[in-house]
Amino acid sequence: MMLAVSLCAAVFVSLLFCVSCTPYVRKYQKTKLVRVALLCGVDRVTVSGIAHKKAYDQHTVTVNSAFPMYFSSAGSYVEVNGTQYRGNLELKLLDNRIWVMNVLDMDDYVKGVVPCEIGRVSEDLYEVAKAQAVAARTYAFAHLDQHQDLGFDLYSSVQDQVYKGVRCETDITNRAVDATAREILTYKGQPVEAKYHSTCGGQTADFNDAWPGTAPPYLRSVRCPYCSQSPHYTWEKTYSKSAFFVHLRKGLEKAGISLPRDTRIQNIKLVRNRKSKRIIKLVIVTGNEDIEVPGYRIRTVLGSPGDPGGLLKSNYFILDTRRDSIVLKGNGWGHGVGMCQFGAIEMARRGMSYKKILYHYYKGTKISKVR
Ligand SMILES: [Zn+2]
């Protein structure tokens, strides 16, 4: 009975909203709406919202419902599995699984991102909230249409930026978003790739320390004398020698780098970026051919299941070899590229403006207003 009601409602919603969906598609091009994937492939979801003037409360949608479906908030909020979001919802079926997209105004999206990414900040740190708002907005603009094949712009997770809707918003971060409305960082008139990370450990990374490809000129290593109060400023990992080599072999296998089982590892060399101090190449010396691990794979190779995302905290470390053990002594957490969030917090605490913070970490960029 429940299912029948649900199906009827779904068909009803779908038929009526095939027409009413058109305005927001047009509006998307004009007013910078953003489409955020909230759920990617589930078999059931409950939603609340308005569909053709009818209010649905905790309405159950299954893979047997009729898709696509659209729900508006009509001045309030829509809900997905009990969590409130601004804007509208679009539900569709891909490979017989339900995908839920939140379609909303860019700055409403940024309001749900800033506190998730920078944390809850106090009034004296207002400038860092503004810096994070501009960085998050810039990232979103630079990534519009990146998942066009799936029909949305951004994931709501660390894959893009963490977005949790209304529940994570705070008064101070919302004010920061409003105060910087329409502002993004640009380089030669284009939105920049506004990378940011938790803690650089004293010096940010060059783009190619973390990723292959062409490096944007504004993502280069800069000194950061601001993040030493971060709990991630330094870190250590200690292994027995035998455990380290087991860990290394497993990591190479995980990263798809072949090292035959009977190959004896004779030595390990670390090649470092002199400026950023990151490891840009790890060379495993064997009796035969040396094996090279590029810098941007090292966090995967040396990461453990217990590390966040399975990645080593950073590729900014030294190997301290002792009689029976090997100690990794590292700095920072994250890829190290772009804005160091703990550094930015300290800059704000010392009275620096959000523009000064952004221009420190993204050299040669400028703040522009999107039309
Ligand atoms: Zn830093």
Gap from CA of 108 to ligand 1 centroid (Å): 29
- State how far the Cα of 137 lies from the Cα of 342, in Å rounded to an integer: 19
Q: What pLDDT shows up at residue 145? A: 87
Gap from CA of 336 to ligand 1 centroid (Å): 8
- State how far the Cα of 193 lies from the Cα of 340, in Å rounded to an integer: 14
Gap from CA of 191 to ligand 1 centroid (Å): 23
How many Cα neighbours within 13 Å face the side chain of 168?
A: 19
Gap from CA of 195 to ligand 1 centroid (Å): 13
288: DSSP letter:
S
217: DSSP letter:
T
Gap from CA of 354 to ligand 1 centroid (Å): 16
Q: What pLDDT shows up at residue 260? A: 79
Q: What pLDDT shows up at residue 357? A: 98
Gap from CA of 356 to ligand 1 centroid (Å): 15
Gap from CA of 199 to ligand 1 centroid (Å): 5
Low-confidence stretches of the chain (pLDDT beneath 70): 1-31
Neighbouring C-beta atoms of residue 311, cutoff 10 Å: 18
Gap from CA of 242 to ligand 1 centroid (Å): 34
Gap from CA of 119 to ligand 1 centroid (Å): 16
Gap from CA of 316 to ligand 1 centroid (Å): 12
Gap from CA of 219 to ligand 1 centroid (Å): 14
- Residues with Cβ within 8 Å of 368's Cβ and at least 6 positions away in sequence, in order, are 183, 184, 185, 186, 189
Note whether 297 and 287 are within 8 A (CB): no
Domain boundaries, the chain: 2-109, 234-331
Phi-psi sector, 188: left (phi>0), alpha (psi -120 to 50), beta: left
Q: Compute CA distances 147 → 114, 151, 216, whole Å.
A: 22, 6, 22
Gap from CA of 350 to ligand 1 centroid (Å): 14
Q: For residue 195, what are its two tokens? A: 């990378």
Q: Report, in angstroms and rounded to the nearest whole number, the Rg of the chain calculated over CA atoms.
A: 24
- Residues with Cβ within 8 Å of 281's Cβ and at least 6 positions away in sequence, in order, are 270, 271, 292, 293, 294, 295
Gap from CA of 40 to ligand 1 centroid (Å): 34
Note whether 344 and 361 are within 8 A (CB): yes
- State how far the Cα of 99 lies from the Cα of 334, in Å rounded to an integer: 29
Q: What pLDDT shows up at residue 84? A: 97
Gap from CA of 271 to ligand 1 centroid (Å): 22
Q: What pLDDT shows up at residue 135? A: 98
Gap from CA of 346 to ligand 1 centroid (Å): 9
Which spans in 160-268 are helix H?
A: 171-179, 207-210, 241-254
Gap from CA of 255 to ligand 1 centroid (Å): 28
Gap from CA of 99 to ligand 1 centroid (Å): 37
Gap from CA of 151 to ligand 1 centroid (Å): 36
Gap from CA of 233 to ligand 1 centroid (Å): 8
